[in-house]
Structure 1
Amino acid sequence: MSSPFGPMVLICNERSGRGGVGKALPEVRAHLEQRGLEYEIRATEYPGHATELARAALQEGKRFLVAVGGDGTIHEVVNGMLEEDQAIDPTAVLGVIAAGTGSDFIKTFGIPASASHGVAHLDGGESFPIDIGKITYMQDGAEVVRYFPNIAEAGIGADTVARASRLPRWLGPTVYFFAFWLVMRGFKPANVKVDLVDRVHEGRMSNLVVANGQFFGGGMKVAPKAAPTDGLLDIQIHNPRKREAIAIMPRMYKGEHIPHPDIHEAKRIRVSIEADRPLRIEADGEMLGETPATFEVIPDAINLKV
């Protein structure tokens, strides 16, 4: 028996999450077989390979792609499903089984974190279209485009992600919190010009958050007003003083850091940023390039299995 969307193609990096994805695969296989669902597994071998595997599967006529792993794997698979701001196959469906280090993306949609419950969500024909973010940024002097399903940042948030990647994995979801403390000590806000389409924000900024989903950083509800089905990006321009930034951080876990006088909020289809120095950019926990950058929303870009 197969899904209404056809046989699944599970795309996974068995080594990610300290090998957690590889350890979860036998359980995933067992639950898929128990439900009588057809599947095949395609393992990644290097960074960016999940994007290539996703695109190849679609070109073969497969319609049901399942990202097995954390936000990085989901990010790469989504980039393999889109080309020139369009779905390669508008009927294709993205499924997610969180494994390894876990996923913030799934929290917005209420998809279970356990592998066995995640498989249950792959059964049946329920899916709906979701928006996807698009970033145009600079990398090695060239303009590059990348898509993101969850959240992107420019500024101290991206520096924090870069620092977190060098910390021990046993810190688990707290790794972002510790990385923030380490980065905060030496970070200096930049003078920026943020174009919000109908007005321009100019001044000092420590971080730009551009959200499609609500959660990042291991469970922080940074964008409680974001909805990946409303055709808009949830934008926050942060510039609190260091002491206030430290006080705000714990409140982010419950989404209680806004409203705040040092956080400018907006909802837009597009936002661009220029700064007096290149600011790092990250999306879905993946380090990309630098500012200047433009962030846009692509409404109803792909279908998500729930």
Structure 2
Amino acid sequence: MTESKNNFEKVLLVINPKSRRGLPVGHKLKKWILNNTDLKVTERHTDYAGHAHDIIRDAHVDNKTVIISVSGDGGMHECNQGVLHHIDKEPVIVPWPGGNACDVFYSLYTKRSWKRALKEGRSRRIDFIEVTIIGPENTQKYIAQQASIGLVADAANIFHKNRPLNDIKETWLVFLSYLTHKPVLVEIDGKKEKTAHLIVTNIPRVGKYLKYPQCKPDDTYFVLSDIKGGKINLGLEIIKSMTIGQKGKILKEFEFLLPEGGIMQIDGEPRHIPNNSRIEIKVLPQYIKVLDWKA
């Protein structure tokens, strides 16, 4: 649902200087905001993993604040976790592409629609997916737009170990992930099986190229896609995902076990999951405000 017009007053611009184009893109955006709006801009740079979360957690924000993450999906993921400390104050949080993928931005906006919503002070509530990882020793909880195990998680893990990235390096690492990929053992409803790529998402674009056309980020559902089989079937299904798009089950909640643990990527950030962990997924309807992508 569209919020009533709210004249924003200030911007917290969180830039990851280590992302591909973070600093030049962030400074260009700052100049545009100052030249085209009356908003006050505070610029902060991240210095370490998790810093975006800390910056936002410690910031003074309210419902007239727009938090802008100039980074990739990982930086946006950190910012979202930081906003959890200010849910009652209802700031607006949005990405601006400055790193790899930026799937949330390209799933919702064009640069023109994003800028128009900022100038007009228009926001809209968006659903999130809550991912709870219940391990043998502790429980971790995240909010996200998408999460997966299998091929994309393997690729995210390899990306994380081989930064900085460029297009040629990224293409090679994706191919390497495909060649070395092994199915992941999962247990769903008491039945053990192996999956090549299991993803939950409520945005229609994941990993820059994969399409999930059923996804709507404000319909209170997410899409579950589960690809099984060997490398040939996986390759064919990935080609399908990149072209006509992949369809799946439309759900509000889902859970599974990882008897042998593994890698799970959450909004592009790889997480090491212990053996015998239970993963619980559920929708958080209309959870956080973003710029109105339908403005």
| TM-score normalized by the length of structure 1 | 0.82
Q: Match for residue 259 of structure 2?
A: 276
SS in structure 2 at match of 1:122 = helix
Indicate yes or no: 2:146 matched with 1:151: yes
Indicate yes or no: 2:52 matched with 1:57: no
Change (3 A) 1:161 1:102: closer
SS in structure 1 at match of 2:59 = helix
Contact 1:190-1:276 within 8 A present in 2 as well: no
Contact 1:138-1:289 within 8 A present in 2 as well: no
Q: How far does residue 40 in structure 1 lie from its aligned partner after superposition?
A: 0.9
Q: Match for residue 88 of structure 1?
A: 87
Q: 2:17 aligns with which of 7, 14, 17?
A: 14
Indicate yes or no: 2:245 matched with 1:256: yes
Distance 1:281 1:303 in 2: 26
Q: How far does residue 134 in structure 1 lie from its aligned partner after superposition?
A: 1.1
Contact 1:104-1:219 within 8 A present in 2 as well: no
In the TM superposition, 1:30-109 aligns within 5 A as: 30-36=31-37, 37-58=39-60, 63-83=65-85, 88-89=87-88, 91-109=90-108
Q: Match for residue 290 of structure 2?
A: 304
Where in structure 1 are there 5+ consecutive unaligned residues? Answer: 259-264
Task: Name the amino acid aligned to 1:69.
Answer: S
SS in structure 2 at match of 1:273 = strand
Change (3 A) 1:172 1:138: farther
Q: Match for residue 138 of structure 2?
A: 142
Change (3 A) 1:273 1:142: same
Task: Name the amino acid aligned to 1:209.
Answer: I
Contact 2:218-2:286 within 8 A present in 1 as well: yes
Q: How far does residue 77 in structure 1 lie from its aligned partner after superposition?
A: 1.0
Distance 2:246 2:125 in 1: 29
SS in structure 2 at match of 1:42 = strand
Contact 1:161-1:179 within 8 A present in 2 as well: no
Q: Match for residue 261 of structure 1?
A: none
Task: Name the amino acid aligned to 1:73.
Answer: G
Contact 1:136-1:146 within 8 A present in 2 as well: yes
Q: What RMSD in Å do the two structures reach over aligned CA positions? A: 2.6
Q: 1:183 aligns with which of 164, 174, 177?
A: 177
SS in structure 2 at match of 1:128 = strand
Q: Match for residue 133 of structure 1?
A: 129
Q: Match for residue 214 of structure 1?
A: 204
Q: How far does residue 31 in structure 1 lie from its aligned partner after superposition?
A: 0.7
Contact 1:134-1:297 within 8 A present in 2 as well: yes
Q: How far does residue 266 in structure 1 lie from its aligned partner after superposition?
A: 1.4
Distance 2:263 2:152 in 1: 9
Q: How far does residue 220 in structure 1 lie from its aligned partner after superposition?
A: 2.1
Q: Match for residue 109 of structure 2?
A: 110
Change (3 A) 1:13 1:280: same
Q: Residues 22-79 of structure 1, C-alpha deviation per residue, up to 9 Å, x if partnerless?
A: 1223311221121133211121111111112112225678632111222112111111
Q: How far does residue 121 in structure 1 lie from its aligned partner after superposition?
A: 4.2
* Count of residues in correspondence between the two structures: 283
Where in structure 2 are there 5+ consecutive unaligned residues? Answer: 1-5
Q: How far does residue 286 in structure 1 lie from its aligned partner after superposition?
A: 0.5
Contact 1:139-1:289 within 8 A present in 2 as well: no
Contact 1:173-1:218 within 8 A present in 2 as well: no
Task: Name the amino acid aligned to 2:139.
Answer: E
